[in-house]
A = this chain, B = another copy of it.
Amino acid sequence: MKKIGIGLVGFGTVGTGVVRILQENKGVIEDRLGASIVLRKIADLDITTDRGVKVDRKILTTDAGELIDDPDISILIELIGGYDAAKEITLKAIGKGKHVVTANKALLAVHGDDIFGEAHSRGVDIGFEASVGGGIPVIRSIKEGLVANHIKVIFGILNGTSNYILSEMTSKGKEFGDVLKAAQNKGYAEADPTFDIEGIDTAHKLAILLSLAYGIKVDLGDIYVEGISKITPLDIEFAKELGYTIKLLAIAKEEGRRIEARVHPTLLPNCHLLSMVNEAYNAIFIDGDAVGSTMFYGKGAGMMPTASAVISDVLEICRNIMKGSSRRVPLLSFQHEKIRAQKIKNMSDVTSRYYLRFSAIDKPGVLSKISGILGNLDISISSVIQKGREVEGTVPIFMVTYEAREANIQKALKEIDDSPITLDNTVLIRIEEGGGNFGG
């Protein structure tokens, strides 16, 4: 049987998962591939800690350069994460004509231009299925399964930590800070959780999906990003009463040739499939002009799910090596020369429905003033609820608007929050009604 040599840089959690799958599922992988994958070398700064998998000590090295220089390694798996070292190793490997598989979304979102450009000119493949949605084969599905479609909408729950926190807050009525602390203790959230909870990781993944769906280069700074740290149990509870669940969504939409891209907490109808995606699971809802609504669901992180996606890329590249068909599918779904830079629609031009919670002073005429300001800016109110009594001198007023322009909403809220009729900043959460048909 043909043997294909691979190397692994980064023997952490996912790297260990990769080794485990290559060992435990060797038989089924060979029966499918018709070739044998040989792990020739593993590089990591720490080559002494026991990872719980049996590995020949001779293949361990602290020098990634050894893998890059090894002519018997055709595919390099990069799992060290971060930016600089990962970029250097990846570019060097490509320079030597090696194919690269990576789970590093931050690297691709920030340095994708360099990496894909170099890979294109060297004619090698880059596998990055694990970079979005962990074990869910969503990148493959966009590049191949939905290739006949104009992608109209993408809604993604792409960060397991945020989704875990929101799910816990929703099911247990707990405060954000308490759930975050518990998640950190359980190892579900990092010591510095900023990337996850502030939507940055989700934005990185959205940038990758945008390239694949629309053939565009995206400036990360153009994507509006808002995290979940300001979500309160009060808003979750009220959303529920109104028939909605709060999720941190990556949103992409195409109308005409204008593309929207944003990351923020979103109210989704309770009956939307995405509202049922709980705990650390991820899901990507995609609406294509031909296929209609689709959804892809699974574990967005973790040792084995992420390794499952990494190995799927390794096998795809192995098949290309065996058939001499490297770059059979373009790196970013579109032919290289068709990829264009495109500005994302300015956030102030986006239209949406809005959930608003005003911390109004408990005096007559307040509601009339609020609705007057909204009305002057073309914002129509769909429903309004004032419920419960004074909390610290204010009464919460909950409002759902019809479709309105973001610029107008921001202007209205500024006017309202600057006036003496509210004592605290108004809470704003955008609403998406979904797409797909989730009736019943």
Contact = CB atoms under 8 A, between A and B. Distances in A.
Contact of A305 (B135, B292, B308): B292
Give the interface size class of chain A: 35 or more
B140 A330 contact: no
User: How many chain copies does the complex carry?
Assistant: 2
Given A328-B320, A440-B167, A298 B308 contact: no
B298 A147 contact: no
A6 B435 CA distance: 33
B32 A440 contact: no
B308 A291 contact: yes
A103 B47 CA distance: 51
Interface stretch (A55-63, A274-282, A367-375, A398-406): A274-282
Contact of A316 (B29, B144, B309): B144
Interface stretch (A90-98, A333-341, A415-423): A333-341
Interface in A24-73: 24-25, 28-29, 31-34
A329 interface: yes
A245 B161 CA distance: 30
A265 interface: no
A407 interface: no
A295 interface: yes
B150 A144 contact: no
A417 to B, nearest CB: 33
A278 B439 CA distance: 7
Interface string A386-420: 00000000000000000000000000000000000
A161 to B, nearest CB: 16
Binding site of A, secondary structure by majority: helix, strand, loop or mixed? mixed
A145 interface: yes
Given A141-B145, A145-B312, A290 B278 contact: no
Contacts of A323: 323-325, 328
Nearest to A142: B137
Contacts of A144: 137, 140, 312, 315-316
Contacts of A383: none
A25 B148 contact: yes
A420 to B, nearest CB: 40
A299 interface: yes
A276 B270 CA distance: 11
A80 to B, nearest CB: 21
B290 A294 contact: no
Contacts of A238: none
Interface in A8-37: 17, 21, 24-25, 28-29, 31-34
Contact of A278 (B145, B171, B294, B437): B437
A29 B440 contact: no
A354 interface: no
A120 interface: no
7 contacts: A29-B147, A148-B315, A278-B439, A278-B440, A281-B436, A292-B298, A319-B325
Given A141-B145, A170-B440, A291-B305, 14 more contacts: A29-B148, A31-B335, A32-B333, A32-B335, A135-B290, A140-B140, A140-B145, A167-B440, A278-B439, A290-B304, A293-B297, A294-B296, A294-B299, A319-B328
